[in-house]
Structure 1
Amino acid sequence: MPSAVPPRRFPGIRRDHLIDLRPLTASAPFARMWFGSTLGGLGGQLTIVAVMLHMYELTGSSFAVAMIAVAGLVPMILAGLYGGMLADAVDRRALALGAASITFVSTVLLMALTWTGAESVVWLYVLSVVNSAANSVVMATRQAIVPRLLPRDLLAAASALQGIAMGIMVAVGPALGGVLVATVGYGWTYTIDVALMSALFLGLWTLPPVRPEGEIVKPGLASLVDGWRFLRRAGNIRLQFILDIIAMTFGHPLALFPAIGAVLLGGGPVTTGLLTASIAIGALLSSVFSGQVARFPFHGIGIARAITVYGSAIALFGLVLLMAQLGVGAEGGVDATTPNAAMIAAACAALAITGAADNVSSIYRNTMLQAAVPDAMRGRLQGVFIVVVAGGPRVGALYVGVFSTVAALWVPEVVGGLIIVALTATLVRFAPRFRSYDARHPEP
């Protein structure tokens, strides 16, 4: 008599389509770091949204909100590059703990200033800059640690798990941040971030020492030049950096969300949180069903396709904003308490597609970087990677901030999305090695 076939957990969904959870069971240190980083990042997202709303409340200017990101660009670049050099020369665990401590102190100070009523535009800028610079070191160092905790065949699955973490952070964090600001205020929002950040320390503190392997180069100009020479030879790594900069420069409208929620779609802070959360929901869902994505070996092709979808969805988001500006779905007008529900739903759907596409691109880009770059160079390249990932959105904030002051809020997205699609197709067309990249035989 044939044995009964157990029912599928999700009818109609093949098990191999679901995310691979083996990295969490294969390495206890990786699992602890993953859980700690997820909770700490969740708190960080509360503060990111709260600071944007705080700045908009103090100034009433989308440009001022955009300048939060722009102001931190140069310090973040310097911190990422120098932090990457340090990660190739010192114990990566100790470095991550030190940088996380700076992030913690800056958030505590922001909390204290708010509770005492001493917050100001200047303080919001200064503490945001310190926070982003220190966090870039944490991120670069943490990513350089992962290949030391897991075998190479689990790196793509680990990157997909990072997508789950980011999805949780950005899906729950911004929405919760918007609700908290609207209900209990900025002080409590920053306080909750401080409490959640303690989990980050637990995940890092319990790691074993992680000294870099191979030849150690003292941080400084020689180390930076050495990394630059490697990057010049690493055409696949270089092109993925360029493609991500293009996507984030012309397709990152986050700085406009407060204004969109206040004057275009209505709903105020809650709409701002929903728009931001939609990006993360898309990323979260794409990670949940990332089984086949992680197994696809041609990562160059995967990156190109994902960024093309990303650009198309950004243009679609711009078209939704255009429809809202023309009054579609807003019979009685919109304001902070009267949202245009239909257009908010359409905008969230478009942004969810961008989140899913960006996450798929990130899985391939991160795995390529971790697998193809030798350990002795990994910290420096992860530093550059974090500069690209975190710096691109800041340049993008400047793009949308300036463009939105001379044009309607929907224009930067439509134009930017088309630019992303066109530049991606052109650059990949003339990069045959990138198109043929095979994760089974990684080459930088």
Structure 2
Amino acid sequence: MSSPHPRRLHGFRRFLGSVVVDTRPLRIPAYRRLWVSGAVTAIGSQLTAVAVPKQVYDLTDSSAMVGVSGAVALVPLLVFGLWGGAIADTLDRRRLMVFSNVGVAATSALLWLQAWLDLRSVWLVLLLLGLNQVFFAINSPARSAAIARLVPDELVPPAVALGSTTMQFGAVMGPMAAGALMPFAGLSTLYLVDTVALALAVVAVWRLPAMPPLNGPSRRAGLRDVWEGFRYLRLQQVLLASFLLDVIAMVAGMPRALFPEMAERTFGDPAGGGIALGWLYAAIPLGALLCGLMSGRLSRLRRHGVGVTVSVCLWGAAIVGFGLSGSLWVAVAFLALAGAADFASMVYRGSMLQQATTDEMRGRLQGVFIVVVAGGPRLADLTHGWVGETAGTSVSASGGGVLVIVLTIVAVALIPSFWRYRTGSGSRSPEAASAG
């Protein structure tokens, strides 16, 4: 049997390299450490995300209290996400990440301790969850804003894609691992694994280069800094449009509040839950993960405004298909397609935010980004739940998808500079040059 022709083999390797996720940013030691710190906590954080509502339900036998735990997590994320962004623009981002990572690890350790001691206090669990989210909200803007300081401009899109792929992997595998561990290892073990992962992340972040503010010595961050971030955003039409399109996609088109009812009434799950519910929740992150693994060509597109617009419209179309589906597997396929579209939009929006923002404002805008990403789906839960209750789940989901497409076209027509936006060539940052 003859061996493949060398030219054909080389051509196949080039094609494969252009399709699969671009790993060039991992050649930069500093970014590699940042990525590793996120990778080891991706699954661990999802274990805690499963453990907290499960423990709250076990303690109270109340879905309403599980909803309260969601609100407890959201409030500090909104408040400290904005303030954390301002802090990230006034302090060394490496030091801020170390401090906040230690805080997240400490609260996770306390969550493990209360579960291991079987203290059976739901209010203690909620208090520790709130503290955990405070440190997480401070950490996230600094971590995101650090990317553009560690890699050259042309590698920002693949660096964002790598990080997003890792998070989606955690969103798929974390709940599955939690379900496998709980029956024989106990709920407290989920908190313990997360704590160990966070401790390893602290070590990786500690080895990052210093990232002090480029605009002068450190100062205290206050409400004025947060307000300046909003003023800056108001003047940046391209960035404002990227946030607006994400709000449209999530508020009008995120149908997860309908999953429990649709799993039972449309797809035949038993009353206590079954396979349909699990697949509905896993489908969107699974589609995003698959898109991330094949994001080589995705991260090379320079017309990011077009990329976001098309991705959001594709998300809306997929949600329409989901709402009209009568078969579970057709519905899962549409949700997976929606997840892939959302991943593409997230890569382009994240890259725009990194590259179209000055470094002294990057942390604050990352804080706004965290608030939009966290708040949009929560508002969608409220709107889709109400519409689904009054008009039916199919109307709520498919109607929301149509609304996404219409509002996206209107928004881009009103802000044409967004459609024309192209990523710049940029230059290497000081940290990327020294760390590479």
User: What TM-score results when the alignment is normalised by the length of structure 1?
Assistant: 0.84
Q: Counterparts of 2:83 and 2:286 in 1: how far apart (Å)? A: 33
Matched-pair contact (CA < 8 Å) for 1:83–1:137: yes
Displacement of 1:250 in angstroms is 3.0
Call closer, same or farther: CA 1:312–1:120 in 2, change over 3 Å: farther
1:367 corresponds to = 351
1:336 corresponds to = none
Matched-pair contact (CA < 8 Å) for 1:279–1:356: yes
1:39 corresponds to = 40
1:214 corresponds to = 215
Deviates more, 1:90-99 or 1:397-406: 397-406
- 1:189 corresponds to which letter in structure 2? L
Q: Deviations over 1:62-102 (max 9, x none)?
A: 55544433343332121011111111111111111222222
Q: Counterparts of 1:50 and 1:408 in 2: how far apart (Å)? A: 31
**Residue 289 of structure 2 is aligned with which of 267, 284, 291?**
284
**Residue 378 of structure 2 is aligned with which of 383, 389, 394?**
394
Q: Counterparts of 1:361 and 1:131 in 2: how far apart (Å)? A: 28
**Residue 265 of structure 1 is aligned with which of 261, 265, 269?**
269
Deviates more, 1:256-265 or 1:185-194: 256-265
Pairwise CA RMSD of aligned residues?
A: 3.0
2:249 corresponds to = 247
Matched-pair contact (CA < 8 Å) for 2:89–2:360: yes
Please state whether the residue corresponding to 2:9 is helix, strand or coil: coil
1:423 corresponds to = 407
Matching of residue 231 in structure 1 with residue 233 in structure 2: yes
Which structure 1 segments of 5+ residues have no match?
Answer: 324-341
Call closer, same or farther: CA 1:34–1:191 in 2, change over 3 Å: same
2:429 corresponds to = none
1:130 corresponds to = 131
Displacement of 1:22 in angstroms is 0.7
Q: Counterparts of 1:319 and 1:127 in 2: how far apart (Å)? A: 41
1:293 corresponds to = 298
Which structure 2 segments of 5+ residues have no match?
Answer: 427-436
Displacement of 1:173 in angstroms is 1.0
Q: Counterparts of 1:47 and 1:269 in 2: how far apart (Å)? A: 22
- 2:293 corresponds to which letter in structure 1? V
Matched-pair contact (CA < 8 Å) for 1:175–1:277: no
Deviates more, 1:263-272 or 1:388-397: 263-272
Q: Counterparts of 1:390 and 1:179 in 2: how far apart (Å)? A: 27
Q: Counterparts of 1:43 and 1:286 in 2: how far apart (Å)? A: 22
1:4 corresponds to = 6
Matched-pair contact (CA < 8 Å) for 2:288–2:341: yes
1:176 corresponds to = 177
Ranges of 4+ aligned residues in structure 1 off by more than 6 Å: 8-12
The aligned length equals 419
Q: Counterparts of 1:213 and 1:17 in 2: how far apart (Å)? A: 36
- 1:177 corresponds to which letter in structure 2? A
- Show the 5 A alignment for 1:43-442: 43-56=44-57, 64-181=65-182, 184-215=185-216, 218-254=220-256, 257=259, 265-266=269-270, 268=273, 272-320=277-325, 323=326, 343=328, 345-403=329-387, 412-440=396-424
Call closer, same or farther: CA 1:423–1:129 in 2, change over 3 Å: farther
Displacement of 1:3 in angstroms is 7.6
Q: Report % sequence identity.
A: 35
